[in-house]
Amino acid sequence: MSDETPMINILTYQLPYKLTNQIYNEYQSRLKEASYLIENYITYSALKQDIKTVELFLSLSIFHKRVITILDGAVKFYGTVTKKGQTDTIQIGGYKMTGDEKNKILAVVMNYNQLLEKFSIPPVVMEYFETREFLKKLIVFKMEIENGNNQRKKGKENNDQEEDPDIPF
């Protein structure tokens, strides 16, 4: 058995229990469905060798849907309400959201988006309703990466032929 901590556990660490439970249950359900689809349908068989990657992207996509989009929505809601209502605090029940809290939430969302960008993960991969749709997006993403790598290799080969043969590298 692997000593690695599952990505879903890392992403949900210190989140409220109810939210963690929702995320974990959705993850387990979708992982079971994804595994079945990959094993039993030719359409998804391109991902057979990448099941660990599917697990990682699935974890990230569920976290994106259940946490990041909610935080992003809260920031946008705060902006709309404070602009139209000419106020700097929103109160929902006993909770008061201030401009400072909005900025902290915005920083989390921006850092998350920068991480996606740093690792060249298009946000569209995270947006789906059905597991089948998610797997199709992963296959397209995988093909784009492979085609990009092939293009870079071809470009490098062409550059190698054009360069001065006296250069040792």
> Number of folded domains in the chain?
1
CA dihedral 125, 131, 132, 136 (to 10 degrees): 20
- Enter the DSSP assignment of 121: -
The pLDDT value recorded for residue 151 is 63
pTM assigned to the model: 0.82
- Is 51 inside any structural domain? yes
- Cβ atoms of 109 and 75 closer than 8 Å: yes
Burial of 134: CB neighbours in 10 Å, binned 0-12, 13-18, 19+: buried
- Is 147 inside any structural domain? no
d(CA 159, CA 165): 11
Output the tens digit of pLDDT for each of the chain's 169 residues: 457 888 999 999 999 999 999 999 999 999 999 999 999 999 999 999 999 999 999 999 999 999 999 999 999 999 999 888 888 888 888 888 999 999 999 999 999 999 999 998 998 999 999 999 999 999 999 999 888 776 656 655 555 544 444 433 2
- Is 25 inside any structural domain? yes
d(CA 142, CA 137): 9
The pLDDT value recorded for residue 74 is 93
- Is 145 inside any structural domain? no
- Is 138 inside any structural domain? no
Rg (CA), the chain: 21
d(CA 44, CA 140): 11
- Is 106 inside any structural domain? yes
Structural domain that includes position 52? 7-119
Please name the residues in contact with 161: beta carbons below 8 A apart, sequence gap of 6 or more.
none
Q: How far apart are the first and last CA of the chain?
A: 44
- Is 66 inside any structural domain? yes
- Is 153 inside any structural domain? no
Distance of CA 35 to the CA centre of its chain: 19
| pLDDT tens per residue, range 23-36 | 999 999 999 999 99
